Amino acid sequence: MADAQEFLKDFPLLHTEMNGRPIAYLDNGATTQKPEQVIKAICGYYGGCNANPHRGAYALSVEATEIYENARKRTAAFIGAKRPEEIIFTKNATEALNLIAYSYGLTNLKQGDEIVITIAEHHSNLVPWQHVAHATGAALKYIYLEQDGNLSDEDIETKITERTKLVACTQVSNVLGLKNDVKKIAAKAHSVGAVCVVDGSQSVAHQKVDVRDIDAGHKMLSPMGIGVLYGKYDLLDAMPPFLMGGDMIEYVEEQQTTFAELPAKFEAGTQNVGGAAGLTAAIDYLTGIGFDRIEAIEKDLVDYALPQLRELPFIELYGCDTKRDNKTGIIAFNVKDVHPHDVATILDSTGVAVRAGHHCAQPLHKYLGLNASCRASFYLYNTREDVDRWIAALKKVREVLGYGA
Amino acid sequence: MGLEDIYTELVSEHSRNPEHRHALPGATCSLKGHNPSCGDEITLQLKVKDGVVEDAAFTGVGCAISQASTDMMVDLIRGKRTEEARALAQKFIGMIKGEITDEAELEDLDEALSLQGVSHMPARVKCAVLAWHTLDEALKEQGK
Ligand SMILES: Cc1ncc(COP(=O)(O)O)c(C=O)c1O
Ligand SMILES: [Zn+2]
C-alpha cells in the first residue's frame, strides 16, 4: 500500500539492518518505532531547553515548563478531555494504573465490595487490582470470553452488580487484538454506581479515542518513559496523592503537608519533559495523518495476511474469527508442535521481529488453554512486503526443527 | 550465528522425542524450574541413593532448547555421583555463559556440547541453563 511506504521514510530505525537483514518490525504491540519528528523533538529539548520545569525563575526553566504544559494541553485535546488538569503524566500505563489502584482503590474499597475485570487484561491492569482486593478484602471477579474471543455479554450483564465498586477493562486486548465495547461496559458500571477504568494502551495509537481513561505514550510513536492518565476532574480531585515529595505540595510543615492542586498533586518529583516534547511531536504526527488512514493501513495488512495464514495447516490463530467488526492489527498465532520462542528465534534469523511468550497476559493464556503464543502487530509503516517476509519465514519454521511440513 | 548452530540435528531430535520426559516412579526428590521470560517449565525428578543419581526424568513444557537441554542432561547424569553431576551442571552453565570455551574441558558434557551455540544468543541462554540450575538446586538440597 502506497501510504505505508510514504510513512516508512520517517522512521530511521526501519532503514537499518538487524543480523545483516532489513527489519520487518511486527512488534508494535510492545512498542512502536519513533519517527524522525519525535526524535528531533527530544534532541531539540535536551539540546536547547533542558531545565527543571516549575522550579527555577529563569528563562530556561520557564521554557521547559511551557513545553511540558503544552504537551498536557495537546494530549487533552487529542483524547477529548475537557480540561488539561485531567491529564496526569506518568512514566507508563503501568504507573497510571497503579496510581488509580493505590490512590482510589485502597481508599474507597472495602470488604463486601467487588472489583470486576476481564480475563483478557494485561498484568498491569490485573495485578494492581489483585493487590487492592487482598488489601481491602474486596472480591475480584472476572468477565470471561465468548467462543470467538470477545467479552461475554452475559458476564458483563451479570457480574457487574450493585456490589461492584470498580470495573477495569482494556479497550483492545493486547493478545487477541479485539476491540471491546468499553462504552457499553462503562455505562453498565456507571449504572450501578461503580467507577470504570479503561486501559487504552493498545487503542490510543490506532483509533480515535474519546476519553474514558488510560494510555502509554511509547506505543504511539513517542519515547519510552512517558504515559498518560486521564481521569474526570472531580474523581481525581477527591483522590489522595499517590507518590509524595517535591512539586506536589502546597505547604510543608514539620508534621503536616497540604498538597498541590491537580495535576501537580499526582506528579511528584522531576518530570519527563523530554518525553513530553516527544509526545507532543507524536500527537502532531498522528493528527497530521489521521486515524482513518492508520486504521485503513492496519486493516489492509490484516486482510492481506489472514487468508494466507489460514492456508497454512500448521498455523493456529487466536482471536481471528470474531463475529463483530472489531479486529485490530494484532494477530496471535502458534505453529503446531513448535514453542513460540523457537518460532520467534527462527523468524528473527530472517529479520522478522515478532513477540513470543505470554505477552504479560498469563491468566488469558491459561484460560485459552495455551502455554504461550506468538504475536504479530502492525502499525502505519508496515507493508505487505513485511507480511510476505513473515509468512515466508513461517513456512520454514517446522523444517528447522526437523518436522515434516 | 546461523540457525543451524542452535537448532542442531541433536537439539531438534531431543526436542521432538525427549526420551526422558515422563514421571519417575520412586523418585527421592522432585524440583520445579521455571523460566518466566519464555514460559519454560520443568519438573525434574531424581532417584538418589548412596550419593548416586540412580535414575532421573522430567516433565514439563517449553521451547525446543529447554526441552532438548533437559533431556540431554538427564542422559548425562544418570548413574553419576551427585558431586560429579553438580560439577557437570557448573561446567554446562559456564559454557553457556561463555566462561568456559576450551573444547577438551567441555568434552565430558557429551551431547550437551551441541548447545554451545546458545552462548551467542543472550535471548535464549535462560532456556538452555534452566534444567542445569534446577539440577544444581536439587542436589544442593539432597546434600543437606
Ligand atoms: C493492554 C496493555 N496494558 C498495559 C500495558 C503496559 O504498558 P507499559 O509497559 O507501558 O506500562 C501494555 C503494554 O504492553 C498493554 O498492551
Ligand atoms: Zn525457552
The C-alpha angle with vertex A108 and arms to A104 and A114, in degrees rounded to 5, equals: 105
Q: Which residue has the cell 455479554?
A: A153
Confidence check: pLDDT of A277 > 70: yes
- Indicate which ligand has the atom closest to the C-alpha of A377: 1
For A199-244, the pLDDT digits (tens) are 999 998 887 776 644 445 567 778 889 999 999 999 999 999 999 9
Identity of the residue numbered B50: D
- Average pLDDT (A386-403) is 95
Grid coordinates given for A334: 502458534
Confidence check: pLDDT of A259 > 80: yes
CB count within 10 Å of CB A162 equals: 9
Q: Using CA coordinates, name the residue in chain A closest to B39.
A: A357
The CATH number that applies at residue B111 is: 3.90.1010.10
Burial classification of residue A63, based on how many CB atoms lie within 10 Å of its CB (0-12 exposed, 13-18 middle, 19 or more buried): middle
Confidence check: pLDDT of A2 > 50: no
Answer yes or no: are the C-beta atoms of A273 and A243 closer than 8 Å.
no
- Average pLDDT (A367-371) is 95
CB count within 10 Å of CB B43 equals: 17
* Secondary structure letter of residue A248 according to DSSP: S
Q: Which of A264, A191, A268, A199 is nearest to A228 (CA)?
A: A199
pTM beyond cutoff 0.80? yes
Query: How many CA atoms does the CB half-sphere of B51 hold within 13 Å?
Result: 3
Please tell me the predicted confidence (pLDDT) of residue A3.
55
Cβ-defined contact of B3 to A357 (cutoff 8 Å) = no
Please tell me the predicted confidence (pLDDT) of residue A213.
46
Confidence check: pLDDT of B142 > 90: no
Please tell me the predicted confidence (pLDDT) of residue B44.
98
Mean pLDDT, chain A, whole residue set: 93
- Average pLDDT (B24-28) is 95
Please tell me the predicted confidence (pLDDT) of residue B143.
66
- CB of residue A202 inside a 6 A radius of ligand 1: yes
For A162-184, the pLDDT digits (tens) are 999 999 999 999 999 999 999 89
The answer for A54, left when phi > 0, alpha when psi is -120 to 50, beta otherwise, is left
Strands lying side by side in the sheet with A214-216: A87-90, A227-230, A214-216, A195-199, A164-170, A114-118, A139-143
CB count within 10 Å of CB B59 equals: 18
Q: How many domains would you assign to chain B?
A: 1
Q: Which of the four pLDDT bands, split at 50, 70 and 90, describes residue B1?
A: low
Grid coordinates given for A358: 505470554
For B31-46, the pLDDT digits (tens) are 999 988 778 999 999 9
Confidence check: pLDDT of A6 > 90: no
Please tell me the predicted confidence (pLDDT) of residue A204.
87
Domain ranges of chain A: 2-32+290-400, 40-286
Cβ-defined contact of A401 to B15 (cutoff 8 Å) = yes
- CB of residue A118 inside a 6 A radius of ligand 1: no
CA–CA dist A402, B16 (Å, integer) = 8
Based on the residue annotation, tell me whether A360 is a catalytic residue of this protein: yes
Q: Which of A340, A20, A228 is nearest to B2 (CA)?
A: A20
Please enumerate residues of A whose Cβ is less than 8 A from a Cβ of B.
Answer: 337-342, 345-346, 349, 356-358, 371-372, 400-403
Q: Which domain holds residue B138?
A: 3-143
The minimum-distance atom of ligand 1 relative to the CA of A93 is: 11
Q: Which of A328, A321, A299, A303 is nearest to A145 (CA)?
A: A321
Grid coordinates given for A35: 519517527
CA–CA dist A373, A354 (Å, integer) = 10
Q: Which of A25, A101, A30, A89 is nearest to A389 (CA)?
A: A25
Q: Percentage of chain A surpassing pLDDT 90?
A: 86
Grid coordinates given for B102: 576450551
Which ipTM was obtained for this model? Answer: 0.91
Q: Which of B106, B23, B6 is nearest to B66 (CA)?
A: B6
Strands A214-216 and A227-230: antiparallel
For A288-340, the pLDDT digits (tens) are 999 999 999 999 999 999 999 999 999 999 999 999 999 999 999 999 999 99
Is domain A2-32+290-400 given the CATH code 3.90.850.10 in the classification?
no
Confidence check: pLDDT of B100 > 50: yes
Q: Which of A169, A124, A182, A178 is nearest to A143 (CA)?
A: A169
Please tell me the predicted confidence (pLDDT) of residue A1.
47
Cβ-defined contact of B39 to A371 (cutoff 8 Å) = yes
CA–CA dist A61, A264 (Å, integer) = 16
Which of the pair, B39 or B73, is modelled with greater confidence?
B73
Q: Which residue has the cell 474469527?
A: A321
Minimum-distance CB partner of B16 among A357, A371, A402: A402
> Which residue lies with its CA nearest to atom 12 of ligand 1?
A201
Q: Which of the four pLDDT bands, split at 50, 70 and 90, describes residue A343?
A: very high
B61: β partners:
B41
For B109-119, the pLDDT digits (tens) are 999 999 999 99
Cβ-defined contact of A401 to B16 (cutoff 8 Å) = yes
CA–CA dist A41, A275 (Å, integer) = 9
Which of the pair, B28 or A213, is modelled with greater confidence?
B28
CA distances from B96 to A55, B83, B109, B136 (A): 50, 20, 12, 15
For A112-133, the pLDDT digits (tens) are 999 999 999 999 999 999 999 9
A40-286 in CATH: which number? 3.40.640.10
- Average pLDDT (A270-278) is 95
Q: Percentage of chain A surpassing pLDDT 70?
A: 97
Q: Kindly report the three-state secondary structure assignment for every residue of chain B.
A: CCHHHCCCHHHHHHHHCCCCECCCCCCCEEEEEEECCCCEEEEEEEEEECCEEEEEEEEEECCHHHHHHHHHHHHHHCCCEHHHHHHHHHHHHHHHCCCCCCHHHHHHHHHHHHHHHHHHCHHHHHHHHHHHHHHHHHHHHHHC
